[in-house]
Amino acid sequence: MALSKDRLGRFNPDKHMEGRVTDIGPRHYWQFFPPVIQNNYGKWAYHEILEPGVLVHVSETGDKAFTVRCGGMRFMTVDFVRELCDIADRFSDGYVRFTTRNNIEFIVDSLEKVEALKAELAKHTFAIGGSLKFPVGGTGAGVTNIVHTQGFIHCHTAAVDASSMVKALMDGLFEHFTSMDLPAQVRVSMACCLNMCGAVHCSDIALLGYHRKPPAIDHEVLHKICEIPLAIASCPTAAISPAKTEDGLKTVKLKVERCMFCGNCYTMCPALPLADGQGDCVVMMAGGKVSNRISMPTFSKVVIPYLPNNHPLFPEVVEATKQVLNAYAADARKYERIGDWAQRIGWEKFFEKCNLPFTEHLIDDYRLAYDTYRTSTQFKYTEAAWAVTRAAEGEE
């Protein structure tokens, strides 16, 4: 059955239930597996990374599946999809898969096919600008693709764009995508606001768009487009309360000193926009992970409270990320993730080695903040400690 070319296709507005098919769910996975995957499903014995971006999985049957992993743009066009399909049809029997981190994988059953595939992939560059279309890498102890959110491409709550920052950042970190020279894998993630579609809060390095001004109140329409009690209830710090305008319109007022800029009110009430090109910024968090390997999964911690939202190349974000990455690469032990390293050397040393200022913004003052305060005499001396000593007139 071919796809319809009629303007309304199979939809008949007068009989909209006619022929309707619902609740069929996703396609079943089995028919999308290449033969080497079908034949060895559940029989894999071990794997090896032959070179950055190339893996071999060896089955108990003796079969081998070779994977070539390419960095991918999660935002793409159908032209790009067709181009990768052309490659898959010619080199991997018409099969292709995507990873959780938006990488593209071609799976073949021999090393010769890997070489042919790699040679082909290297030929694909954009006519404009010359970027690679299918850079090979993203395996092992390196930086793999950055998962991210929609940003200005599609989102109404974004504090910063996503695709542009990720492109600029991956250009800056490219050498780590195509090599495996770090102490462990480094998972970088990006979210364009605190809603964190995609949940970047457990990443080695997370970049987060953030608003820094309280919502502007659109008094003229608020009473028409918002449920005022819902808007009030949406605020976790009770900063919003009912009010009336001079003209007697029902509206809300704000205790701005209570606002933590989470944006939940805007989600409930479109008359309370937070976006502000001057105020919005990027926050860097570090040291989180989801794996249970050696240490338990951990949240990322805020390590830089403010970086400018300098579209489209974000030079300050790229520099700061490299700064943390370089300090980590130089100092961490084998298998230590960024958070494990910071934990071992102490966060005071993390700030010293990364050459990052420790500011008041980095001390928690939200609920359960006290749990993060240090209740011990165990600390290491860094310049920041001596600054406290001097301020307290504790030495000459």
Partner 1 sequence: MAFEPKRPQKTYTYDDVRLFTDEELKNYTAEEEKNFKIKHDIPLLEKLESGPWPSFVADAKRYALRRRKLGEEGKLLISPDVVEDLLGQVELSFVHGETHWKHGGIVGVIGYGGGVIGRYSDLAAKYPGVAHFHTVRVAQVPSKFYNTAFLRGLADLWEYRGSGMLNLHGSTGDIILLGTFTEQLEPLFQELTQVLDVDLGGSGSNLRTPECCLGKARCQYALYDTQEMCYEMTMHYQDELHRPAFPYKFKFKFDGCPNGCVASIARADLSFIGTWCDDIRIDQDAVQGYINGEFPPGGGSHSGKDWGKFDIYAEVIDRCPTGCMSLEGGELVIDNPNCTRCMHCINTMPRALRPGVETGVSLLFGAKAPILEGAQMSVLVIPFMKAEPPYDNVKEMINKMFEWWMDEGKNRERLGETIQRVGLQRFCDIMGLPPAPQMVKEPRTNPYIFWKEEDVPGGFERDINDYRSRHAR
Which of 14, 15, 26, 373 is the binder for partner 1 (CB under 8 A)?
A: 26
Stretch of 7-15, 319-327, 373-381, 388-396 lying at the interface with partner 1 (CB under 8 A): 7-15
What residue type is assigned to position 287 of the chain?
A: G
Which of 29, 360, 375, 392 is the binder for partner 1 (CB under 8 A)?
A: 29
The CA-based dihedral angle spanning residues 193, 201, 308, 156, taken in that order and rounded to the nearest 10 degrees: -10
Q: Which is nearer to partner 1, 280 or 348 (CB)?
A: 280
> For residue 34, is the peptide bond before it cis, meaning its omega torsion is within 30 degrees of 0?
no
Q: Which two tokens stand for residue 265?
A: 């009110």
Dist. CA 131–CA 302, nearest whole Å: 33
Dist. CA 365–CA 375, nearest whole Å: 16
Do residues 125 and 135 lie in contact, with contact meaning Cβ atoms separated by under 8 Å? no
Give Cβ neighbours of residue 15 (< 8 Å, ≥ 6 apart).
none
Which of 68, 136, 222, 262 is the binder for partner 1 (CB under 8 A)?
A: 262
Stretch of 71-79, 113-121, 248-256, 346-354 lying at the interface with partner 1 (CB under 8 A): 71-79
Q: Taking the complex as a whole, how short is the minimal distance between the CB of residue 311 and partner 1, in angstroms?
A: 4
The answer to whether residue 236 forms part of the interface with partner 1 (CB under 8 A) is: yes
The answer to whether residue 15 forms part of the interface with partner 1 (CB under 8 A) is: no
Query: Which residue intervals of 143-257 are DSSP H helices?
Result: 163-172, 174-177, 219-225, 228-233
The answer to whether residue 22 forms part of the interface with partner 1 (CB under 8 A) is: yes
Do residues 175 and 181 lie in contact, with contact meaning Cβ atoms separated by under 8 Å? no
Q: Taking the complex as a whole, how short is the minimal distance between the CB of residue 385 and partner 1, in angstroms?
A: 28
Give the x/- contact pattern for partner 1 in 186-225, rule: CB under 8 A: -----x--xxxxxxxxx-----------------------
The answer to whether residue 391 forms part of the interface with partner 1 (CB under 8 A) is: no
Q: If you ran DSSP here, which 8-state letter would residue 161 be given?
A: -
DSSP run (H or E) holding 117 = helix 111-123
3-state secondary structure at position 281 = strand
Residues 76 to 135: which contact partner 1 by CB under 8 A? 76-82, 84-85, 88-89, 94-100, 102, 107, 126-135
Residues 282 to 311: which contact partner 1 by CB under 8 A? 290-295, 297, 299, 309, 311
CA distances from 323 to 284, 307, 343, 356 (A): 12, 13, 18, 9
Q: Taking the complex as a whole, how short is the minimal distance between the CB of residue 256 and partner 1, in angstroms?
A: 19
Sign of CA dihedral 186, 365, 251, 280: negative
Which of 75, 261, 306, 358 is the binder for partner 1 (CB under 8 A)?
A: 75
Which of 91, 108, 121, 185 is the binder for partner 1 (CB under 8 A)?
A: 185
The answer to whether residue 152 forms part of the interface with partner 1 (CB under 8 A) is: yes
Which of 143, 215, 234, 356 is the binder for partner 1 (CB under 8 A)?
A: 234
